[in-house]
Structure 1
Amino acid sequence: MSTPDLCIKVEARKLQLVFKGRILLECTPDAPCIELLHVDPDFHMNPKYVSYYKLKNKVKCRLPLHDARLVDPPASGDDVTIVFDECMQLHARIVNGRLELVPEVVGQPGERATAWNGLAIAFKADATEAIYGCGEQFSFLNLRGRRVPLWTQEPGIVKNHSIAKYIADAAIGAGGEWWTTYYPQPTFVSSANYFVHVESYAYAEFDFREKHRHALLVNEIPKKIVVDVQGSAPAVLASLTSFLGRQRPLPDWALNGAWLGIVGGLDKTDPTSVVAKVDRARAGNVKIAAIWAEDWTGLRSFKAQTRLFWNWKYSQERYPNLPDYIKQLHAEGIKFLGYNNCFLMTDGDLYAEARDRGFLIKNAAGEPYQLAMYSFSAPMLDLTNPGTWAWFKGIIKEHMIGAGLDGWMCDFAEYVPVDAVLHSGQDPLVHHNEYPVLWAKVNAEAIAEAGRDKGEEAIVFFSRSGNAGTTRHSPLIWSGDQIMTFALDMGLAAAICSCISMGFVGVGQTHCDIAGEFRLPWQKRTKDLFMRGTEHAAFTPVMRTHDAKGTSGWTLDSDEETLQHFAKFSRVHATLAPYLKQAIKEYAETGLPVIRHCYLHYEDDPTFHAKKPRSLQYQYLLGRDMLVAPVYTKETTTRKLYLPKDTWVHVWSGKEYAGGWVEVAAPHGEPPVFYRKASPFFKLLGSLKDA
């Protein structure tokens, strides 16, 4: 069977499926490309902190499918059914120019159809191709040679194999692995210019360790597998993001300087209050786009922890007359953002209402599932209950938007327990990875219903967790709670890597906390780290600090030098606004992310796929015309980087470079940043040094 785009051959018990000239599946009796599985996942939540997991995915039985035949005649040239061993059908359809493979177990003989609850499928690979995607990656960009489990959870606070990791594991299971992430997604993009997306929220493993095949395992029979082949890397992302959905563009206000992530309330006499911190930032000539006060609902103290109060109304004690203060900020051209998550604390009035109306996830006893978070516990909203949606959207509209908030951190969503009882009866093992998408959607719907999803007054919320579909709802992603450290895999370097990786799963608008949010007991954010984090954030779509309840260590006004450094880069970010706006427009139209892997525009240069030196994965293109190589190691004054073949201008010195490996001076205040001499923004980018 053959059409211009799809060719399927079955000869002598051998199957070959070719789409747009690329061999995707090649099956023989000795090397089957599809297996039916019976899986028995053994996933253990940590009893002290439920979002840390130990995963053992047991494959109890495999049924390799050796023989294939075509159903004759096919429904059409673009809709073909392949039958494997008379027990599974694979429907191959071309839909909107993409290939959709729809597996169906047909149940022969007897009860076989109900025995198989998983699928393994192997796509033909080239030995030299690089692989990207699988969601947000903190440790590695090119995933070739690695097996990637896909399960949303807290990534862990120490992801290297150090003594600290084993201490964290012993304490609350928080050690983490290189692949643990808030935002897994069953999607990969190949440097050979094709993508594969599996439409399933079940646990999956994508294995790229073999030279000639990519082996995908899914803990259910997926709804479909979507593939496209294109002639260039930008065209691949255009097709992928058109299918997955693109984030709505950020409003101009989000780009107009720094978002100050500060806490402390509105007491003008308190030097640690939000009011006092804003006054100091203004006096230091900081260009302020927004105030983000995550403690707007108040605080609660527990043993060894102080947490935000998860009851989504402003604190009359900590933020009296908050709506009036927000109006004052608006008059000054400054926005105000808050915080929410999908939990409710049991001493808040919203908890009692949600409990009584059945809006909380339940345990096996039918009671609200109290999820352990080290020194306290809290229940989680059940988003499989339609009543929960209407109720919680009402809370957002009345108590958040109604109070004047211009946005918020939309936190958590990785916590659905594997033994939960859901209103819908859905399997929690599948719902676990889907929940982050629904959590973003309920927030997005509330904003749309309030008429605040478009224009310059559009509300911006930012998410850390996600999966396929999140880009249709959340306008901004952030890298989650990175550690206040220069260590690879879990600090500044990890945040850089994560922002680049997200572009391969459809996320075009992302950013991170400046210099991290979380710290181990012996850590505090240093001056060097804060200044380097500031430099990196200035060259991302959103520049935002995170004061972490006032216990962060070094911050923007810890001394005069730091304040002036931060103020300078807030002005740099504001100066970049027209350029960033154009990059955001390009993402909306083409799917190219604002933060881009360098190979997307320099496909003929294999250097960018190299795994060594590792420094290559900590540089990126910002839009089409800027190359940014942040300093991500401590006490460093120079940076070695690789420039693709082009004419590049060093922002701070004006010196021109033709490409190749270069080493440049990188003192505080002059991170390695370059722009293309041919850029239509040449004049604007040349003015950054004077911001």
Structure 2
Amino acid sequence: MPSQIIMHADGFDLFAGEICVLSHRTHAPAFAIGIGKPDMEMVRGNFRIGDDLHLRLPLDCFANDKGAIRLWSSDRPDSILGIKVDVDARKLALRIRCTDDAINRLWIDMRSENGEAFWGGGEQMSYLRLNGRSFPFWTSEPGVGRDKSTKLTQTMDAEGLAGGDYWTTNYPQPTWLSSHNYAVHLDTAAYSVLDLTDGSRAGIECWKADLNLELFTASGRTELVRQMSDRFGRQPPLPDWAISGAIVGLKDGQDTFSRFEKIAASGAALTGLWCEDWIGIRQTSFGKRLFWDWQWNATRYPDLPDRIAALAERGVRFLGYVNPYLAVDGPLFAEAAALGYLALRQDSDEPYAVDFGEFDAGVVDFTNPDAAAWFSERIIGQEMLDFGLSGWMADFGEYLPTDVRLFDGSDPMEAHNRWPVLWAKVNADAIASRGKTGEATFFMRAGYSGVQAYCPLLWAGDQCVDFSRHDGINTVLTGALSSGLLGNAYHHSDLGGYTSLHGVVRTADLMHRWIDMAAFAPVMRSHEGNRPADNLQLDSNPEFLTHFARMSQVHARLAPYVRALSDEAVATGLPLQRPLFLHYDDPAYYDVQDQYLYGADMLVAPVVEADQTGRDVILPEGKWVHLWSGVEYTQGTHAIAAPNGQPPVFTRKDSKFAPLFASLTEEFGA
């Protein structure tokens, strides 16, 4: 049954199929309006967000004029909230507009049934199931620690709001899915909040009184996810080189190449070398940082063009790094400033300088089409693609300050959430201009609604190099599963994690477990982290090299299966990494976020807790074969041994890829 709205004398009901998801009456209004003033503080991409609320009025008056709904408060009759209902084949939308420009707050109470589960919210790192908590949608640094009870988080908060919380994420999105097979999307870039702390309601707060509330219904969850991909955009297929071997991240100047050869000599299947520092470095107290001027640094890599060509002859692609800011002490900043392509201060015509921690950078103003085209062609096109790069990390995107002056005159409070999407488009346009869509690729951590149409690959951002509950290795799985439900088909992480601060360093246990987990992601890519010298690396000892080589070979052997999943993603929008409940409708699976289906035919349960030699694995209905032993299992919870190099992985016995899986058992099994 499709979505519909039913009018009453004193209000209306909104239905998703047979489920009433919103009920408004004059005596029990679901809508309220108000006036507030943001209280914002930003320190290097971390935000403190408050609201100086002046007015909140429930809308206790109702009129229906031929299907056009008008709501207002008896205390402020001239501030009318108009709702127009639009219905098409995909969705039902409430187009909500207020006649009073002074009104800048909107609250909507939707309903939640007993036992109903909600998922989504963008790339959530702490909780897959959203029930019981409140989730603001604001792109930012996720924070270090992300748990207010821990000393690390408290220390980072004291140093600049940098501790984070369970809801802070590079990629929020005001879209959520229900276990009753409907989805809600707020079509707005304004700051908004989903409040699920009351089990009987799904409360919405939006810092703008104009938005579209979109309602989708489906016969099942896979169809609902397909609708999300149809709505927000679909990624191209992953390149063959990106899935058929590992990408090694090294940033050691000329010494990079001797280290790469050492790793290659271990027998590792390598298809990419990623050098963030191809543009040079600067040293800060945070660690070794990059020089933010997006051109080849010939001093650090004197013969890089020849190196790239030599790697290409071996089937190895070269990858780099870029972000949407320009260091004020680099030549590209001066070039952009002379062209008028930088965002400005509000009190002058001087370029706005953002403090990135011991250096400042200008903001290329992507609301100016000429500036966006300049960055796409002049930097990514000429300095990167034409130079020989096949991929790159397209970093940041979540830093736009809320007090800049933009070319198009838009409110930076709204432009802030749109910025990752504009940034993704700049990158995608550059690749398309060279006819390399699906051949070259980039990966991003920042996002918002619509980034799916431009970003071909997500990465999980900057995890701590540990097993911590809210900022460690396990958050990669939650991020992949939550973002995948909203049409982001491909996800991966920094093998080994990234953030090493205040004594938190990689352990051998962590390295082994991350190697195992990374082998069963679409892209297997390592990272040295923010403090390479303080942390274990793939080439730190023979044991790591042997383990990495073996698991990279496993990853490479899975390429035919991953290619089939990528083709499926192009056709249907289904993600490669999926929560169990996407294919098996059992409430027992609604909270499972530490294991996943890799396509429909493989189940992966990485070890994401320290000092464990095994773990419990939940298998859904059907017959499942343990990848390493070939032993057959049935539905239920099983205690599975998990030595390094044998993370719990199962395959469906009736899979058409059973011969491929059996060959892996024969070659790599116990």
* 1:210 paired to 2:198: yes
* Deviation digits for residues 191-224 of structure 1 (CA, Å, limit 9, x no counterpart): 1100001111110000112222211111113441
* Matched residue, 1:505: 486
Going from structure 1 to structure 2, the CA distance change for 1:375 and 1:284 (only over 3 Å counts) comes to same
Gaps of 5+ in 1: 73-79, 108-112, 267-272, 611-615
* Matched residue, 2:368: 385
Distance in 2 separating the partners of 1:6 and 1:666: 46
* Deviation digits for residues 478-535 of structure 1 (CA, Å, limit 9, x no counterpart): 0011110011110101112111111122211010001201111312212111110010
Going from structure 1 to structure 2, the CA distance change for 1:623 and 1:6 (only over 3 Å counts) comes to closer
Of 422, 441, 445, the residue aligned with 1:438 is 422
* Matched residue, 1:248: 236
Q: CA RMSD in A?
A: 1.5
Q: Is the 8 A contact 1:229 1:236 kept in 2?
A: yes
SS in 1 for 2:176: strand
* 1:633 paired to 2:609: yes
* 1:545 paired to 2:526: yes
Of 59, 82, 104, the residue aligned with 2:69 is 82
Query: How much does 1:186 deviate?
Result: 0.7
* 1:682 paired to 2:669: no
* Matched residue, 1:422: 406
SS in 2 for 1:490: coil
Query: How much does 1:432 deviate?
Result: 0.6
Dislocated runs of 4+, deviation >4 Å: none
* Deviation digits for residues 627-681 of structure 1 (CA, Å, limit 9, x no counterpart): 1110011111011121112211111111111111111111111111111111111
Query: How much does 1:67 deviate?
Result: 3.3
Query: How much does 1:146 deviate?
Result: 0.8
* Matched residue, 1:33: 30
More displaced, 154-163 or 367-376? Answer: 367-376
Distance in 2 separating the partners of 1:300 and 1:173: 24
Going from structure 1 to structure 2, the CA distance change for 1:175 and 1:421 (only over 3 Å counts) comes to same
Distance in 2 separating the partners of 1:359 and 1:643: 54
Write out aligned runs for 1:306-317 (5 A). 306-317=288-299
Write out aligned runs for 1:398-417 (5 A). 398-417=382-401
Distance in 1 separating the partners of 2:264 and 2:285: 37
SS in 2 for 1:371: strand
Q: Is the 8 A contact 2:226 2:487 kept in 1?
A: no
* 1:62 paired to 2:62: no
Query: How much does 1:16 deviate?
Result: 1.5
Write out aligned runs for 1:131-146 (5 A). 131-146=118-133
* Matched residue, 1:319: 301
SS in 1 for 2:555: helix
Distance in 2 separating the partners of 1:623 and 1:145: 29
Query: How much does 1:386 deviate?
Result: 2.1
Going from structure 1 to structure 2, the CA distance change for 1:8 and 1:487 (only over 3 Å counts) comes to closer
Q: Which amino acid aligns with 1:372?
A: D
Distance in 2 separating the partners of 1:677 and 1:314: 50
* Matched residue, 1:564: 546
Query: How much does 1:373 deviate?
Result: 2.3
Distance in 1 separating the partners of 2:153 and 2:430: 40
Gaps of 5+ in 2: none
* Deviation digits for residues 2-54 of structure 1 (CA, Å, limit 9, x no counterpart): xx7454333341322224333232112232111222222111113xxx21111
Distance in 1 separating the partners of 2:177 and 2:106: 20
* Matched residue, 2:354: 371
* Matched residue, 1:152: 139
* 1:590 paired to 2:572: yes
* Matched residue, 2:562: 580
Distance in 1 separating the partners of 2:628 and 2:210: 51
* Matched residue, 1:620: 596
SS in 2 for 1:289: strand
Going from structure 1 to structure 2, the CA distance change for 1:7 and 1:154 (only over 3 Å counts) comes to closer
Q: Which amino acid aligns with 2:452?
A: T
Distance in 2 separating the partners of 1:274 and 1:6: 57
* Matched residue, 1:300: 282
Distance in 1 separating the partners of 2:39 and 2:600: 45
Distance in 2 separating the partners of 1:572 and 1:222: 51
* Matched residue, 1:654: 630
* Matched residue, 2:436: 452
* Matched residue, 1:75: none
SS in 2 for 1:114: coil
Q: Is the 8 A contact 1:305 1:375 kept in 2?
A: no
Q: Which amino acid aligns with 2:29?
A: P
SS in 1 for 2:325: coil
Going from structure 1 to structure 2, the CA distance change for 1:303 and 1:531 (only over 3 Å counts) comes to closer
Distance in 1 separating the partners of 2:402 and 2:293: 25
* Deviation digits for residues 333-361 of structure 1 (CA, Å, limit 9, x no counterpart): 11110000011112211011112222222
SS in 2 for 1:115: coil
More displaced, 177-186 or 84-93? Answer: 84-93
* Deviation digits for residues 164-186 of structure 1 (CA, Å, limit 9, x no counterpart): 22111111221111100000001
Query: How much does 1:254 deviate?
Result: 0.7
Distance in 2 separating the partners of 1:352 and 1:7: 55
Q: Is the 8 A contact 1:27 1:66 kept in 2?
A: no
* Deviation digits for residues 592-645 of structure 1 (CA, Å, limit 9, x no counterpart): 110101100001x111114xxxxx311111111111110011111011121112
More displaced, 359-368 or 469-478? Answer: 359-368
Going from structure 1 to structure 2, the CA distance change for 1:37 and 1:687 (only over 3 Å counts) comes to farther
Q: Which amino acid aligns with 2:523?
A: V
Q: Which amino acid aligns with 2:219?
A: G
Query: How much does 1:303 deviate?
Result: 4.9
* Matched residue, 2:179: 191
* 1:354 paired to 2:357: no
* Matched residue, 1:613: none
Going from structure 1 to structure 2, the CA distance change for 1:228 and 1:552 (only over 3 Å counts) comes to farther
SS in 2 for 1:295: helix
Q: Is the 8 A contact 2:619 2:637 kept in 1?
A: yes
SS in 2 for 1:344: strand
* 1:672 paired to 2:654: no
Of 396, 405, 416, the residue aligned with 2:380 is 396
Q: Is the 8 A contact 1:511 1:540 kept in 2?
A: yes
More displaced, 335-344 or 517-526? Answer: 517-526
Question: Matched residues, percent identical?
Answer: 39
* 1:179 paired to 2:170: no
* Matched residue, 2:93: 100
Query: How much does 1:304 deviate?
Result: 5.3
SS in 2 for 1:347: coil
* Deviation digits for residues 132-184 of structure 1 (CA, Å, limit 9, x no counterpart): 11111111110011110111111111112112221111112211111000000
> What's the TM-score, normalizing by structure 2?
0.95
* Matched residue, 2:461: 480
* Deviation digits for residues 568-612 of structure 1 (CA, Å, limit 9, x no counterpart): 110111111111111111112122110101100001x111114xx
* Matched residue, 2:511: 530
Q: Which amino acid aligns with 2:354?
A: L
SS in 2 for 1:548: coil
Q: Is the 8 A contact 1:22 1:229 kept in 2?
A: no
Query: How much does 1:376 deviate?
Result: 2.2
More displaced, 122-131 or 11-20? Answer: 11-20
Q: Which amino acid aligns with 1:164?
A: L
Distance in 1 separating the partners of 2:538 and 2:28: 59
Q: Which amino acid aligns with 1:633?
A: E
Distance in 2 separating the partners of 1:339 and 1:245: 24
Q: Is the 8 A contact 1:517 1:552 kept in 2?
A: no
